[in-house]
Each structure stands twice: as C-alpha cells, then as structure tokens.
Amino acid sequence: MSPAPRRGTARSRGGAAREGGDEHERLVVDGREIAISNPGKVLFPKPKYTKLDLVRYYLAVAAGALRGAGGRPNVLVRYPNGITREFFYQKRAPESRPPWIEVVTLRFPSGRTAEEVVPRDAAALAWLANLACLELHPHPVRAEDLDHPDELRVDLDPVPGVKWAQVRQVAHVVDAALRDSGLTGWPKTSGSRGLHVLVRIERRWGFDAVRRAALALAREVERRVPKLATSKWWKEERHGVFVDYNQNAKDRTVASAYSVRPTPDARVSAPLRWDEVDAADPADFTLATMPQRFATLGDRHAGIDATPGSLEQLLELSARHEREGLGDAPWPPHYKKQAGEPTRVQPSRARAAKHPLIEIGRAKREQEALAGLKRWKARHKKAAAYLEPSDVLVDRMRGRSSTWTRIRVNLRHVPPKLRPRQERLDPDEKTLESS
C-alpha cells in the first residue's frame, strides 16, 4: 500500500516574478519550490478562475485528492487555454519534469508503453495543476502492482433527459447489491451528470476478472430495477441510467475524487456519505465551495482503504449468468475482439436493425457538432418534433491524445413516413475517425 496521503502546506516566495519574459508565481510546497507559469491565466471564463486558483484548490484538498489519485499512474488531461478551448490527453509524462516527480511504465492493450505520472504528495498536485491538468485521471491500480486493480468502479451514466433523482435511486440499488455481495461502496458525484461508486477490493484479480465482476453487478442492478437502469452497451439500446461496466477494462480511467471538471461553474467530483446522497446536488460542489466543505467536514472517503473486499460473490454471480446464457458483453470499440464476446455490431447496423439511426455530423469541437444538429432540426422540423432527449446521441470519441464528437439521431419515435434519410454529414471532419 502507498503511504498515507498528507495535506500539503504552501507559501509564496517573493510573490509574482518575471522569468524569461513570462510571469511566474513561486510557491514552496512541503519544501519543494514550484514556479506557476502564467498564474493569472483564466481557465474558467464565467467565474474567472485562474490557474493559480486551480493550484490553490488542489493544495486545499490535497489529502483527499491523493487518497483518490495518489500512488497511482495518472493520465494527464490538459486544458492549456481554458475550458472553452481545445484540450488533450497526455499519457506520457513530460520529459521536462522535476527529478522528484515519480513515473511508472505502463503497457497498454495495444502493445505500446508509456511512463505515466504517479503523484505522491501535494507538491506533485501543484505541479500537475501548473500544467493546466484540471482533472485527476488515475488507473485503478497502485504503482507497485500494475496488474491487479485494488478498485472496482461503478459509473452511473444517465441517458439524456434522465433526472438526477433517478441517478440517486439507482445509486442506492447499487449500494444494496454491493452489500449483498459483501462489498462496501463509496459514492461521489462525477462532477458532471452522473455518480460514481468506488469499491476497494483485495489485489487478487486481474483486469478481466474485475471487469467481469462489474458486468455481473451491472446486470444485477438492471434485474432489480429494469425500468430505471440498464447494462446495455450500445447507446441506441439504453434507457434510464447506464451502469458502465467497461470503465473497469484495462487502460480506462475516470475522474477521481476532488477532480475539477471542465464545466462553466467549475464543478468538482465530491465524495459523499450514503446519508448525503438524497440531498446532494452536483451544482453545490465547485472549485470555490469544496475547500470549505473539506476544512469543515474532512474527507468523506477517509476510511475507504480500511476494508478492501473480495470479488468472489460477484464472480460466482457472473458464472451463474454464464450458465443461464448471459456470456460476455461488448467491449469498447478500440479493444481487440475478446474470447466469448458477442458480435461487435451496433444494433442500428445489423441486418434487421431495430433502431433507425442516422448520423448528423462529426467535429473536433462539440459546439460545432451541436451546431450541425441545430441546422438538421431546422431542415426537418416535423421529424425533430417527435424526438425525445434520449434520441439524440452525442458520442465523445477518444483517439490517442485528443477527442472529437459524433452526433447521431435515433428516429424510433418518428413516424416512418416522416423519417429523413441519411444525408451528407454536417459538419464532416473525416480525418477524425482515424485519430
């Protein structure tokens, strides 16, 4: 196990300074001097939060943030020019880094390798924030054992139109299913529309077994509340709250506790107690409000490492599902075809398609893709009037280092005579498909 995280102490040294023509703010964090470049750069335009505000936030919640992401390899998600501009994923640690920044070499399913950053202390968090890393995206493994996850992650992802109250309902079902399996779940807001439940587990199983356990749990939640939750992978088949089992596949990461998210109001992923879930509102937890909550209440996940659980009961449930005819479920599209995986064909592309999907457009920026959807609705007003929120599928596609957005529309609620045919994509940035 990694050493217990500790809260960092910081002080300014000499205030702002000019180095090489650029403004810097020098901070001393736990004895390490860190130069914050362009400290006044605005990362969140609406509340005008700056890079220095981000650094100070992570120092204020360092003990909690390190409990979630510390001692683990992290993917860097960088917003160098703020949340309204382009961002990118960086798996490889910058070559120019202080000697005290720890890295570990990961091997990915593709066969490639990369040295990823392993934050251990508050100074490392400040260094990451200086790179405009808003979010902490740790792998579910410790740096000293990269083959055996110590965390199962339950990602509750509501389809468009589903209210927060339903997400909370499903979270309680997840809690009950975990307790029935001898496991303890620790809830937190995702910082976006969903909710995460983290489960510390014994380091006895590999990634495939952990994912299989997560799939069994997702199917059990769906069995208990079939009208509220789904384990269906394909978006056109989903309803309610999707229990995303594939977040447990190797090389997948999620925003950890206390991560700042790229929302206009700078929301953060807030750890909760179960008795707080029903009253919690994701909008209450922001870069501005979380430090005070943390100082007053401490880390709601302070005990998460005390009771790692066993996956044996969930794996027994998985074996029972298989005997009953429920084998593996689809993997993310960029993974190799797995043994026992069903045919990886979207239902809308099957010969007897149940879901009449058309694609609207592809763009590097989500705003441009949504603008294309707006133009499509203007051209097809009668058909658009029948669409429900869940019929508009916004797919955030991830390449090796960048993302792009695909917009599709499910015409299932549109009368057949009014269904528009597939048109030329608008916008159409074809090069992004192979990114």
Low-confidence winner among 22-26, 289-293, 306-310, 344-348 (lowest mean pLDDT): 344-348
Q: What is the mean pLDDT of the chain?
A: 89
Give the pLDDT confidence of 390-406 residue by residue, as tens digits. 888 888 776 655 678 88
Edge to edge, what strands does the sheet with 403-410 contain? Answer: 357-363, 403-410, 392-398
pLDDT, position 303: 97
pLDDT, position 15: 42
pTM given for the model: 0.82
Query: Exposure string (b/e) for 157-190, b if CB count within 10 Å is 16 or more?
Result: bbbeebebebbbbbbebbbebbeebebbbbbbbb
User: Which residues make Cβ contacts (< 8 Å) with residue 320, sequence separation at least 6?
Assistant: none
Give the pLDDT confidence of 4-47 residue by residue, as tens digits. 334 455 555 534 333 333 578 999 998 999 999 999 999 999 99
Instruction: Give the 3-state secondary structure of residue 126.
Output: helix
Give the pLDDT confidence of 306-328 residue by residue, as tens digits. 989 999 999 999 999 999 998 88
Q: What is the DSSP letter of 347?
A: G
3-state helix, strand, coil in the chain (%, to 5): 30, 25, 45
Instruction: Give the 3-state secondary structure of residue 17.
Output: strand
Three-point CA angle 175, 192, 279, nearest 5°: 50
pLDDT, position 3: 36
Give the pLDDT confidence of 182-196 residue by residue, as tens digits. 999 999 999 999 999
pLDDT greater than 60 at residue 198? yes
pLDDT, position 433: 45
Low-confidence winner among 66-75, 142-151, 159-168, 325-334 (lowest mean pLDDT): 325-334
pLDDT, position 16: 38
Q: pLDDT > 70: what percent of the chain?
A: 87
Strand ranges in 95-178 using DSSP code E only, listed in sequence order? 102-107, 113-118, 133-138, 151-158
- The CA–CA distances, whole Å, from 86 to 48, 77, 83, 330, 332 equal 18, 11, 8, 30, 24
* Angle of the 312-323 helix axis to the 207-224 helix axis, nearest 10: 70
**CA pair distance 239, 242, nearest whole angstrom:** 7
30: its two tokens: 């736990």
Tell me the average pLDDT across 110-127. 93
pLDDT greater than 50 at residue 103? yes
Q: pLDDT > 90: what percent of the chain?
A: 67
The distance in angstroms from the start CA to the end CA of the chain is 37
Three-point CA angle 366, 131, 126, nearest 5°: 125
